[in-house]
A = this chain, B = another copy of it.
Amino acid sequence: MATRKQVAELAGVSEAVVSYVLHNKPIVKEATRLKVLEAIQQLGYRPNMMARGLKMKQSRQIAVLVGSLGNPFEAGVLLHVEQTAQRHGYAVFFHSYSEQSEEELKELLHGRVDGIMLLGQSLREDTIQHFLSTGTPIFSLMAPALHHQDVGSLDLDWSKAMIKLAAHLKERGHQRVALMTHGSLRHYASSRANAFQAAAEAEGLICSDEMTLFGGGTFEHASAAMAEELKKYDQGAALPYTAIVAVNDLMALGILSACRKMGVNVPVQLAVAGCEGILMSGETSPPLTTLLYPREELGSRGTALFIGMISGDSTIKPPDGELDAELMVRGSV
């Protein structure tokens, strides 16, 4: 059995450099890295950490599966994913995800990537098993709608965040609050929706299932759904609630747009809140009251966590625990 020292001698480097290569440290030049890998292969060297599954031909690439390219919140997260990955010597590429194309995904990503990151959406159980069994770990930024014990994740502490929002609504005198969610249970929106319903109950607000609207996650769908709703209730004059919370900001902006077009005064006739704090949420009239999801922290901390897992590099240790959101009170509630 070869030793690390023999590998170092054959490659003409120090033992420390061999160690860097094994831990995928980006400080090693590519030419040196290749020399070390050749020596490892030639001597058949297998350090203990190999048990975790070091692949000799690592791609140093991560695939990020994106549900919605057009959502500025997600785009903002991706920026930080990419910067963090780069800092650790990994390249990132993006692939859009839809339930219809999971078979295709298996083929596309096979043997190409060291890991797969999801943006909160779910993969089918057999797809998850396929990737895990071929040695490709999966990590979800934002909790996946369908939890899976072998898929790691990082998300906001939604219970805590939604309590802040529900308490604010109560303080402003609201008792009956509607909820706009995505409509697909596989979407990360569902964990936010559940958290809001629980928070509303805890604060003594009424937020029943009949007061749930489905906005498909986008501005356009949300705007159309709200317009439909307002038509049903005599242009909003007889709405059975005084406030509505959308589980992403794009949908909240769609609601604002529908209200403006139908002459419904926000916040007098209807208060509106979102929960991400995208840039444009401060530019509407009125500006949106929302939670500020720390997307930089989500992207950078989640990516560092995942790369630590993939590379077995125990020095990559971002702080533990879920993320915290600040309530931004603006004009709409």
Contact = CB atoms under 8 A, between A and B. Distances in A.
Interface of A: 61, 63, 69-70, 72, 75-76, 78-79, 82, 86, 91-96, 101, 104, 108, 219-220, 253, 256-257, 279-280, 282-285
14 contacts: A61-B108, A69-B82, A70-B75, A70-B76, A70-B79, A86-B101, A92-B95, A219-B279, A220-B279, A257-B282, A280-B280, A283-B284, A284-B284, A284-B285
A329 to B, nearest CB: 18
Candidate in A256, A282, A283 with the most chain B CB atoms within 10 angstroms: A283
Question: How many copies of this chain?
Answer: 2
Contacts of A75: 69-70, 75
A95 B90 CA distance: 13
Contacts of A279: 219-220
A104 B79 CA distance: 18
A212 to B, nearest CB: 24
Nearest to A95: B93
Which of A219, A220, A279, A284 counts the most B-chain CB atoms under 10 A from its CB?
Answer: A279
Given A72-B72, A253-B280, A279-B219, A104 B91 contact: yes
A76 B220 CA distance: 13
Nearest to A94: B94
A207 B69 CA distance: 36
Contacts of A253: 280, 283
Contacts of A220: 279
